[in-house]
Amino acid sequence: MAKILIPTPLRQFTDKNDSVELAGATVAEVMAALTQKFPDLRKQLFNDEGKMRSFVNVYLNDEDIRYLQKDATAVAASDTLSIVPSIAGGSHGDGHGSH
């Protein structure tokens, strides 16, 4: 099973776990398993259309999935996924902009 590292601000939604091990063949499957296990996490990671929020970055081992195959990136049992919320200043976060 892949290991998912949970950042401190999101641990309140994962029963204080700093990591979780879940099965999935792709990043999308692992993230779906994560939000199934912790339903309150879904709105933190995904928008109403079910797309990953723009400020949520996911790394497979040390690679940003945006430079791999995004959520279709294959995941092996030995892999580690890291969820990294980018908390950037100066952003209004009004939901308009890039898709």
38 — pLDDT class (breaks 50, 70, 90): very high
How far is it, in rounded angstroms, from Cα 79 to Cα 62?
10
Per-residue model confidence (pLDDT) at position 86: 83
- 87 token code pair: 């908390």
Q: What is the 3-state secondary structure (H, E, C) of the chain?
A: CEEEECCHHHHHHCCCCCEEEECCCEHHHHHHHHHHHCHHHHHHHECCCCCECCCEEEEECCEEHHHCCHHHCECCCCCEEEEEECCCCCCCCCCCCCC
Task: Name the CATH superfamily housing domain 2-85.
Answer: Beta-grasp domain (3.10.20.30)
Asked whether the predicted pLDDT for residue 96 surpasses 50, the reply is no
Query: Is the predicted pLDDT of residue 60 greater than 70, yes or no?
Result: yes
